[in-house]
Every structure is written in structure tokens, then in C-alpha cells.
Structure 1
């Protein structure tokens, strides 16, 4: 096994907001809710970047809709890479696709745990195509 030349350190939760919609009436087993993924990539000196990925479910500002809850969860980590990757021109793809996919993997259990302790069914974040 060879260790990758693209690494990350200490992925961690930086923001968590959950609000139940007091007007929502549960009338079906499956919850349909809008999803939005936001990311922030900040390259810092050398071969480092700080990346955060946020998942927003529902609308934090509007409970007049038919969403059961609103949730915003953000995780972040610092990434570093070798000179070989830097000089090979692959770093942008690694930061925009691979790093975000990795951080989304950290979001999944957080979202599942938070929704599991709510009165709604557990929300399992599906796989996301970051190429679109």
C-alpha cells in the first residue's frame, strides 16, 4: 500500500443548525426536502488549502414551505499535497472533486445522527455527482 501524495488533517464540524418546521404535517413515510451543497476552497501558501463543505437541507429562512425541517451542516479540513501533484496540474481537480467528496463523507453520519434524534425519519444523504 502506498500513501497518497494528497492528504488532509483533522476534518471537523464547524457549523450545525437544525430547526424543526412547526407548521409541517407528516403525511407520508418518505421526506422530500431540497438539498444544496456549497463549498469554499481557500488555497494558502505553499501546497496547502483549507476547504469547507456545507450541506443545506430545506430553507432556514422560510418555514411557509412544505419542508419538515431546515438543516445546515459544515465540515472543513486542511489539505496538503506534494510538489509532484502541484507541478502535474492535477491539484484543481483534487481540490474541487476529491476533497469535497471526502468531506461529504464526513457530513453523512452527522446528518443521519441529527435527523435520527428528531421526530422525522433518518435522512441519509445520497451519493452526489460533483461533475454536474
Structure 2
């Protein structure tokens, strides 16, 4: 097995906000959460970049909806790659798709742990299609 020429270090949580909806009434077994994902790619000198991915579940500003809670989590990591990848012109795809997918993998247990200690059922973040 060969180690990839695209690596990351120290993925970590940079922001978390959880707010319970005081008006929510559980009247069905499963609630469909409204979610959005955004990312920020900051290329640094050389073959390095810092990427953050933010996930928002529910609406942090409006509890007039039928969402049980609102949650925002952001994770960040530093990425680096070889000259070969830089010269192949594939780095943008790796940063926009692969790096985000890796960081979403770090968000999953954070979301599950936070919702597990709430009064609501554990929310398991599904796989997300980053091509759309």
C-alpha cells in the first residue's frame, strides 16, 4: 500500500453552536432536518491549504419551523500535497471534493455525540453528494 501524496494534519473543531427549539413538539417518529454545508479553502504558500467545512442543521435564527434544534459545527485542517499533484492540475478537485469529504467524516461523530446528549434522538449525518 502506497501513502497518498495528498495529506492532512490536525483536523479539529473550531465552532459548535447547539440550540434547542423550545416550541418543538415531537409528533412523528423521524424528523427531516434542513441542512446546509459550506466550505472555505484558503491556499497558502507552497503546496499547502487550510480548509474548513461548516455544517448547519435547522435554522439558528428562526424557531417557527418544525425543527427540534439548530446546530452549527465547523471543522478545519491543514492540507499539503506533492509537486506531482500540483503539476497535474488535480489539486482543485482534491481540495474541493476530497478534502471536504474527509472533513465531513470528522463532523459525523461530533453531530452524533451532541445530539445524543440532547433530549432528541441521535442524528446521524447521512452521506452527502458533493457533486451537486
TM range, smaller chain: over 0.9
Counterpart for residue 89 of structure 1? 89
Q: CA RMSD in A?
A: 0.5
Where has structure 1 moved over 4 Å in runs of 4 or more? none
Structure 2 gap ranges (5+): none
Normalised TM-score (structure 1) = 0.99
Instruction: Give the Cα–Cα distance (whole angstroms) in 2 for the partners of residues 97 and 87 of structure 1.
Output: 18
Q: What TM-score does the superposition give when structure 2 sets the normalisation length?
A: 0.99
SS of the residue 1:95 aligns to:
helix
1:33-52 equivalent positions in 2, closer than 5 A: 33-52=33-52
The question of whether the paired residues in 2 share the 8 Å contact of 1:31 and 1:121 is answered with: no
**Displacement of 1:79:** 0.1
Unpaired stretches in structure 1, ≥5 consecutive residues: none
Q: CA deviation at 1:100?
A: 0.2
1:15 matches 2:23: no
SS in 1 for 2:66: coil
Q: Distance in 2 between matches of 1:32 and 1:11?
A: 28
Classify the secondary structure of the residue corresponding to 1:128: coil
Deviation at 1:28, TM superposition (A): 1.0
Q: Secondary structure at the match of 1:8?
A: strand
- How far apart are residue 7 of structure 1 and its match? 0.3
Q: Residues of 2 paired with 1:86 and 1:5: CA distance? A: 10
CA apart distance, 1:70:
0.2
